[in-house]
Structure formats: C-alpha cells, structure tokens
Amino acid sequence: MATKAKKQADKVEAPAKEAAAITSIKGFDHEFKCRGFQFEVGKTYEVKGDVKACRNGFHAVSMDAPLHVWDFYPIIDDEGRLTRYAITEQTGATDEEKTEKGTKIASASISIKMELSLPEFIRKAVERIVDLTRGKTADAAGYSAQIGSSGYYARIGSSGCSAQIGSSGYYARIGSSGDYAQIGSSGDYAQIGSSGDYAQIGSSGDSAQIGSSGYYARIGSSGCSAQIGSSGDYARIGSSGDSAQIGSSGDYARIGSSGDSAQIGSSGDSAQIGSSGYYARIGSSGCSAQIGSSGYYAQIGSSGDYAQIGSSGDSARINSTGRDAVIASAGPGTTASGIDGAWVSLAEFIDGKCVGFATGCIGKDGLKPNTAYRALGGKLVEVE
C-alpha cells in the first residue's frame, strides 16, 4: 500500500507535526514489508514529494473499516504465508481514496505503533463495527443503515446496501441481503448470514456460524469452533481460532487459518489455502489450487488438476489425485502420494537435520501411483 516508498523514504526519529495524527491499520507481507520496503515496529518514516493516494505516500486503511486491508493484502500470499498487520499513525500531508468498502489513506509520514496478530486484527475489526453501531437504530430496509445491539438473543435483519450492523450479545442472529454490508459480532454463538456482494463480516466470539453467498466477501473470525461457509467467488476468509471449520465453493477463494485443528474444504477453482496451525485437515477438489501448510501433523488432500501443495511442518500427510500436481515438503516425517505425472519432492532428515531432498515423478523410475512415499537415502521409497 506504499508507493515510491522504497526509493524516496527516509527513516526519521519523530513524526511530522503539520497535521493531526490519524490512527489507521496497515497490512504487510510475511516479512513485514510493503511493496518491497522494510518496516519496523516503533519506527517513523517519511516520503518526499506530493502525497497522492495510490501514487505517492505511505498507505494504510481507516479504522472505520479495518477489513478493507484484505482488499490489498489477501490474508495469505500465493505461497500460503499469512499477511501481517499493524496499528499505524499517519501525519503530515494526507490524501484519501474512499469507496463503498472503506477508506485508504496516503500520508507523508507514518509511524508503526504496534503489530497485530491475526486474532488481534479480527477483534479490532469487530470492535470497530460494534462501536460504530452501538445504540443506533435505523430503517433496516434503507441504505446505509446503522444497527447496534448489546443484548442477548438479538434478531437483526437488513436489506439495504451499505448497512453497518454490530452486536455484542450472545446468541445473536444477523442477516443482511444488501451489498457492501459491514457486520461485526463479539458475542458467542452468533449466527450471521449475508447474501449481498462485498460483505465484510467479523466475529470474535466462540462457536460462530457465518455464511455468505455474495461475491468478494471478506470474512474474519478469531473465536474457537467457528463454522464459516462461502459460496461466492473471490471470497477471502481468515480464521485464527482453534477447531475452525471453513468451507468455500466459489472460485478464486483465499483462505487462511492460524488456529489448531482447522478443517478447510474448497471446491472452487484457483483456490489459495494457507494454514499454520497444528493438526490441520485441508481438502480441495477444484483445479489449480495452491495449498500451503506450516503446522505439524497436517493432512492435505487434493483431487483437482494442476494443484500445487507445499508443507513445512512435521509429519504431514499429503495426497493428490489430480493431474499434473506438484508436491513439496520441507518438514521431517512427511509422506506423499499422487497419480501418474505428479512431481514429488520431500526433505530427508537425519538426527533432526535436513540432509537433502528426494525428488521424483510418479509413473517414472518405478514410482507407483496412489502409493505413499517418504524420503530415504536420497530417494523416494514406499511407506511400509
């Protein structure tokens, strides 16, 4: 979200004083970089030249719609690595780009105040939506409705576009059919449904049930035992709670999970799935899936063609039945299987140290389809 920063930015010790500070949220890649420029928590940076959104300046997202970050950093990257987040303070000259999904702010100076983990980011998003709507009521069928509820067993419905709905009580049931809805729930056992496009849905309570059928949905959950389903294309789903169950049937979904014991399923084409928690179970039946896992004891299955599967955690179990799959694992104790034409590369470990990779193509050099292999002596050998 920063442009020209790499060439023009200079680190300084204190933020500029020309304008009142704006608190915002910024996204970064897995190395805490934005467009190649390295940031650090506790540092302040300035950029030279005229500030213009999308052209020059340091960029972040308004606190009014934190999930708008996912329009620029999509939960996971193309290799399954999770996006990082930070609270920032922007000063000096500023310029804004406002859309129905949120506001992007460009500034001459930015201070990186504190990093947020995925669960902290989702909780911030939920808290902001709840705060914006606290104590507010409106025509539920009108545009830009703001509806807030703090009691238990709330029943909230909205059919207008650009609705903002917040609930902090347990057992809330929230439904929205308009486009560009922002829905936040911090109570346990929430049930949230949205059928409009461009919905932003956040839940920080346990045992949430979230469903979205519109395109371009942004769904975040930090509570345990969440159940999340999306059928629209281009969905972006992030979950940081343990025991999450995530399902997506739309094409081009991006799904990231950092909690343990996650169960993730995708049937749409071109899905990108990343998991960093232990005991993940990941299944994909769409073509051209990209799946990455860094947690221990992952079980990964793919039946779509052209899948790319990578694992760095210990004791992963990987199986691909689609054509032209590529399977690679850098973790010890991994086993993998595929059909004819699948390429497999597994790391070999001796006394806890990687000593090389065993690589082969199923159907060649005696490697049999649908047979589990492990790395031993620089070769792929059958698992007994």
| 255 DSSP 8-state letter | E
156: β partners: 174
| Cβ atoms of residues 239 and 263 within 8 Å | no
**Greatest CA separation found in the chain?**
70
Domain range annotation of the chain: 5-116, 117-233, 242-384
95: β partners: 106
The phi and psi torsions of 17 (rounded to 5 degrees) equal: -115, 5
Tell if the pTM clears 0.85, that is, is over it. no
CA distance 335 to 316: 6
> Which helix H or strand E contains 123, and what residues bound it?
helix 118-133
* Dihedral (CA of 319, 324, 329, 332) sign: positive
| Cβ atoms of residues 221 and 208 within 8 Å | yes
Spell out the per-residue pLDDT of the chain, length 384, in tens: 544 444 444 444 333 335 689 999 999 999 999 999 999 999 999 999 999 999 999 999 999 888 889 888 877 776 667 789 999 999 999 999 998 788 999 999 999 999 998 888 888 888 888 777 776 655 556 677 788 888 899 899 988 898 889 998 899 999 999 999 989 999 999 999 999 999 999 999 999 999 999 999 999 999 999 999 999 999 999 999 999 999 999 999 999 999 999 999 999 999 999 999 999 999 999 999 999 999 999 999 999 999 999 999 999 999 999 999 999 999 999 999 999 999 999 999 999 999 999 999 999 999 999 999 999 999 999 998
Architecture of domain 5-116: Alpha-Beta Barrel (3.20)
The Cβ-side half-sphere exposure at 94, using a 13 Å CA radius, reads 24
